[in-house]
Amino acid sequence: MKEETVIKQAQEGNREAMRILFEENKKRIFSLAYQYVKNSEDAEDIIQETFIKAYNSLHRFNVQDGNSFIPWLCRIGINCSIDYLRRNKTRKEKDLIMNNLENVTSTDIDSNPENTSVQREIREKIDQTLDKLSGQQRIIFILKHYQQLTTKEIAEYLDCSEGSVKRQLFRGVLAMKTHLKGLILENKYEMQKI
């Protein structure tokens, strides 16, 4: 069934259509929320909050305007994630990193202890570097590289030009490269020595 049809049915109160929208998008929203809160349980809570807010405001979403549902839903997910962080800003950075490490799945890491250590170090550095980006750069970086949204979809979500998105994305990627350069080169050198 086409997304447009499902959305229209959900707007008319069809619970099955809303369930379909939830099932098709819950992993995307979980991933998005997890990038902010670094905790699976909190990300699950944000999924629920996101879909409750989406359900309550779905009547305002206009399918005929050519709007895409995913950027609209991602905007709600990001806002819920930011609200969550504001409510819980007393959480210590150390707790966030430990939660992040505890939630790494076996498919994310190699069984080789040296590779596991290197991958965890890289993951920590990426998370720390993401936290150093400006709010706009961080959102754009996450939407582009973690959610695989197009530049056009991101611009639509942020209500700005595609050129602005490209500039912020370029700056964010450049900052990430700068902060990660030493780590990647060090790890590459160590791998070659082995």
Which pLDDT value is given to residue 183? 63
Q: CA-based Rg of the chain, rounded to a whole angstrom? A: 19
| pTM for the full predicted model | 0.55
**Do 20 and 65 belong together in one domain?**
yes
CB neighbour class for 72 (10 Å; exposed up to 12, middle 13-18, buried from 19): buried
Q: Over the chain (194 residues), what is each successive 10-residue block's mean pLDDT?
A: 84 90 92 87 92 90 77 89 75 46 45 66 78 82 81 81 90 83 53 38
- Can you give the pLDDT at residue 95? 52
The pLDDT value recorded for residue 155 is 84
Residue 96 lies in a domain: no
Residue 177: which CATH number?
1.10.10.10
Residue 1 has a pLDDT of 64
- Domain of 130? 104-194
Q: Is residue 175 part of a domain?
A: yes
Residue 192: how many other CB atoms lie within 10 Å = 7
Q: What's the pLDDT at 113?
A: 60
Q: How many domains in the chain?
A: 2
Establish if 97 belongs to a structural domain: no
In this prediction, residue 5 carries a pLDDT of 87
- Residue 26 placed within a domain: yes
pLDDT value for 114: 61
* Last residue within a domain, chosen from 59, 90, 121: 90
Is the same domain home to 160 and 188?
yes
To the nearest 10°, report the CA torsion of 177, 183, 184, 188: 160
pLDDT at 190: 44
